[in-house]
Amino acid sequence: MVRSKGEILVPRYNKSAFNGQGDRADISKFRRQNGPLDLVIVEGWMLGFSSLPAKSPVLSKYPGMDRVNDYMKEYSRWEDQFDSAILVGVKNIDMVYQWREQAEEIRRATG
């Protein structure tokens, strides 16, 4: 992994952006961290996935999926920088939705 000795901006995510659809927070909200760093924990639901072939029927079935697929190609650049990786998943994908709803209930309760 490339080790930076300077300041590193750590992106933040804003789940309330776009009426709850979410988006990356403004850069002014990013955390600043000084390097060098020996360990970086990267969280993201798309990590471990790869882009689909250009002729995949999924890309034409769902509008905008071709753009998502283009973004997926960029993820491989990140993964190429990892010395090692541990991917954590769940046996039942429904748990993800349950956990998301729990988090949203807390957000709604706190405004």
CB of 71 closer than 8 Å to CB of 50 = no
| Every domain of the chain and the residues it spans | 1-40, 44-111
**Residue 53 confidence (pLDDT):** 92
Residue type (1 letter), 24: R
Does a cis peptide bond (omega within 30 degrees of 0) precede residue 11? no
Q: Does 31 score more than 80 pLDDT?
A: yes
CB of 57 closer than 8 Å to CB of 23 = no
- pLDDT tens sequence across 37-63: 888 887 776 677 788 998 899 898 888
Q: Does 102 score more than 80 pLDDT?
A: yes
Section 16-27 average pLDDT: 83
- pLDDT tens sequence across 72-99: 888 777 777 788 888 788 888 889 889 8
Q: Does 1 score more than 60 pLDDT?
A: no
